[in-house]
Amino acid sequence: MAATPEDVRAAVGAWIAAHWDPQRSLLEWRRQLVEHRWAVPSWPAHWFGRDLPAWADDVVATELRAREAVALPLGVGTGLAAPTILTHGRDSVRERFLRPILTGEETWCQLFSEPGAGSDLAGVTTHAVRDGDEWIVNGQKVWNTSAHHADFGILVARTDWDVPKHGGLTYFVLPMRQPGVEVRPLRQMNFHASFNEVFLSDAVIPGDHVVGAVGGGWAVAMTTLAHERRFGAMSRPRFSAAAGRATEEARQEADEHFRTYAWYPQRAGRADLLEEHARRAGRTEDPLVRQELAAVLSWQRVSGWTGDRASAARALGRPPGAEGSLGKLAMSVIARRAAAAHSLIGGAAGLLTGDDGAFEGTIGEVLLSVPAQSIAGGTDEIQRNIVGDKVLDLPREPSVDRDVPFRDVPRNA
Ligand SMILES: Cc1cc2nc3c(=O)[nH]c(=O)nc-3n(C[C@H](O)[C@H](O)[C@H](O)COP(=O)(O)OP(=O)(O)OC[C@H]3O[C@@H](n4cnc5c(N)ncnc54)[C@H](O)[C@@H]3O)c2cc1C
The dihedral sign for the CA sequence 352, 358, 362, 366: negative
What are the catalytic residues?
228
- Spatial distance between the Cα atoms of 30 and 78, rounded to a whole number of angstroms: 13
Among 80, 108, 119, the mutation site with the greatest number of ligand 1 atoms within 8 A of its Cβ is 119
The residue nearest atom 2 of ligand 1, judged by CA position, is 376
pLDDT at 61 over 90: yes
Atom of ligand 1 nearest to the CA of 379: 47
CA 306/CA 398 separation, integer angstroms: 30
Mean pLDDT (whole number) for 131-150? 96
Q: Which atom of ligand 1 is nearest to the CA of 116?
A: 26
* pLDDT score recorded for residue 226: 84
Query: Which segment of 80-89, 168-177, 225-234 scores lowest on mean pLDDT?
Result: 225-234
Give the ligand 1 atom nearest the CA of 113.
11
Give nearest CA residue, ligand 1 atom 16: 376
Q: What is the pLDDT of residue 320?
A: 63
Ligand 1 centroid to 119 CA: how many Å?
Answer: 5
Distance 383 CA to ligand 1 centre (A): 11
Q: Which of 11-15, 98-102, 223-227, 270-274 has the lowest mean pLDDT?
A: 223-227
Counting every residue written for the chain, the total comes to 413
* More confidently predicted of 103 and 391: 103
pLDDT, tens only, 67-82: 999 999 989 999 999 9
**pLDDT given for residue 118 in this prediction:** 93
Q: What pLDDT, on a 0 to 100 scale, did the predictor assign at position 405?
A: 96
Question: Is residue 273 pLDDT above 60, yes or no?
Answer: yes
The reported pLDDT for the residue numbered 231 is 60
pLDDT at 54 over 60: yes
Mean pLDDT within 226-238: 69
- Cα of 115 vs centre of ligand 1, distance in Å, is 10
Output the CA 376–ligand 1 centroid distance in Å: 6
Greater model confidence, 226 or 367:
367
Residue 402, pLDDT > 90, answer no
Tell me the average pLDDT across 321-326: 79
Torsion angle of C-alpha atoms 208, 84, 126, 215, degrees rounded to 10: 70
Round the average pLDDT of the chain to a whole number and report it. Answer: 92
Q: Whose CA is nearest to atom 48 of ligand 1?
A: 379
Ligand 1 centroid to residue 328 C-alpha, Å: 14
| β-sheet bridge partners, residue 172 | 155, 210
Band the pLDDT of 116: cuts 50, 70, 90: very high
pLDDT at 242: 67
Residues 68 and 20: their CA atoms lie apart, in Å, by 9
- Ligand 1 pocket, mutate which of 74, 143, 172, 190 (most atoms under 8 A from CB): 143
Helices (H), 68-210: 76, 82-88, 91-103
pLDDT at position 1: 60
- Give the number of the atom of ligand 1 that is nearest the alpha carbon of residue 380: 47
Query: Which residues contact ligand 1 via a Cβ below 6 A?
Result: 109-113, 118-119, 143-145, 195, 372, 375-376, 378-379, 381-382, 385, 397
- Of 411 and 21, the structure prediction assigns the larger pLDDT to 21
- Residue 233 confidence (pLDDT) above 60: no
| Span of 190-199, 203-212, 382-391 with lowest mean pLDDT | 382-391
Three-state secondary structure readout of 336-396: HHHHHHHHHHHHHHHHCCHHHCHHHHHHHHHHHHHHHHHCCCCCHHHHHHHHHHHHCCCCC
